[in-house]
Structure 1
Amino acid sequence: MVKMVVIPLFFIAALLICSPSSHAADFCVGDLKGPTSPAGYSCKDPAKVTVDDFVYSGLAAVGNTTNLIKASVAPAFAAQFPGLNGLGISVARLDLAPGGVIPFHTHPAGNEVLTVLQGVICAGFVDTANKVYLKTLKKGDIMIFPTGLLHFQVNGGGSLATAIVSFSSSQPGLQILDYVLFANDLPSLLVEKTTFLDDAQVKKLKGALGGTN
């Protein structure tokens, strides 16, 4: 009986010693004036850290949805909320006016969790086998979008829809498919050949999204 108790205690102690929580620093508030890397910002001098580094109020207001996609995303990533730096988490506010859409996009560096606060949102993603996962979400519903998979959100009702989006990274990254294809100087001929769209449609989309060539 004694051996059965001692052995688990030994492993628990070993795990505690090797755990990330044993690191000397409790946090690494981002120094936004310093260099950054894929790992995040360098740490702010601990002597200059205050409680305000761990509080962010930028998600309180409804976003401006008077734009092409009738949507607004207000991020609270490390660049806006330095206290998140190095913690592997971040959040954003999503507002979708009636008819609003967040086009197909990916986050290459983090999983996403969407929580609907009001309204109706039709959301979905496509896996690498091209299987579609689609759901109409209402207030209180939560949906996850795995790292790197194309996904979207559309207002599914006649009123403003709002959600809080959480990520498993303080810098999840963002790549919107429509902008990748039509908001740059990639030659139209190449876009046409790789998307099977005709010349008129490609040029129309480039014009709408600010692309050239």
Structure 2
Amino acid sequence: MVSVLVNGRVCKDPKLVEANDFFFSGLHLAGNTSNAVGSRVTPVGVAQIGGLNALGITAARIDFAAWGLNPPHTHPRATEILTVLEGSLKVGFVTSNTENRLITKVLQKGDVFVFPVGLVHFQQNVGNGNAVALVALSSQNPGVITIANAVFGSNPDIPADILAKAFQVDTNAIYSLQSKF
């Protein structure tokens, strides 16, 4: 028997497919938000549901502690649609480099917001209680680039003089930021 790869994943023989190939249990469980940013993303992609392979979608649950943040990030291969299940979230994205305009809104339970493919975006809980959101992404491999982690936590480090010039700050500020990642 020859294994066939699609999108880097083994495609299961359709005659051997079963319900568990299209199933995930766990989105009812709160993610641990006791971290530096106060949020946790629980992904539901092809790694969790093999049957998603080649279907072009993924999902995730995002849990937020009070005032927790899903930091500025981008999905280079997917548009994201977010639904607030509990709490209130301030969400936003920045338009392309030509304008750098911030589009932002405070969402309540049941509200939906769309983040266009590739744009830097964020979500922040603006309440004193926990918040929960469910997201869907238009790719089985949306990718995620968290801006601060990528810039200040690269391995090896981006040279401090380059970042200092780019951010127009002193190199000591860059060293301080890099030490946090």
TM-score, with normalisation over the residues of structure 2?
0.91
Partner AA of 2:113 in structure 1: M
What is the total number of aligned residue pairs between the two structures?
175
Distance 1:84 1:136, change over 3 A: same
Distance 1:139 1:180, change over 3 A: same
Aligned partners of 1:204, 1:102: CA distance in 2, in Å?
22
Aligned ranges 1:201-212 → 2 under 5 Å: 201-209=173-181
Aligned partners of 1:121, 1:36: CA distance in 2, in Å?
39
Per-residue CA shift, 1:98-152, capped at 9, x if unaligned?
1211111100111000000000100000111212110000100000000000000
SS in structure 2 at match of 1:42: strand
Aligned to 1:135: 105
Shift of residue 197 of structure 1?
Answer: 2.5
CA contact (8 A) 2:38 2:66 kept: yes
1:124 aligns with 2:92: yes
Q: Considering only aligned residues, what root-mean-square deviation do their CA atoms show, in Å?
A: 1.5
What is the percent sequence identity of the aligned residues? 41
SS in structure 2 at match of 1:79: coil
1:42 aligns with 2:14: no
Corresponding residue to 2:146 among 155, 167, 176: 176
Partner AA of 1:207 in structure 2: S
Aligned ranges 1:45-56 → 2 under 5 Å: 45-56=13-24
CA contact (8 A) 1:74 1:92 kept: yes
Per-residue CA shift, 1:33-63, capped at 9, x if unaligned?
x7867x4523112233110111111312000
TM-score, with normalisation over the residues of structure 1?
0.78
Aligned to 2:128: 158
Identify, as 1 or 2, the structure richer in strand. Answer: 2
Structure 1 runs (4+) deviating above 4 angstroms are: 34-37
Unaligned 5+ residue runs, structure 2?
none
Aligned to 1:100: 68
Aligned partners of 1:36, 1:189: CA distance in 2, in Å?
43
Unaligned 5+ residue runs, structure 1?
1-33
Larger Cα-atom Rg: 1
Aligned partners of 1:76, 1:162: CA distance in 2, in Å?
15
Aligned to 1:30: none
Identify, as 1 or 2, the structure richer in helix. Answer: 1
Aligned to 1:21: none
CA contact (8 A) 2:4 2:11 kept: no
Aligned partners of 2:76, 2:113: CA distance in 1, in Å?
18
Aligned to 2:167: 195
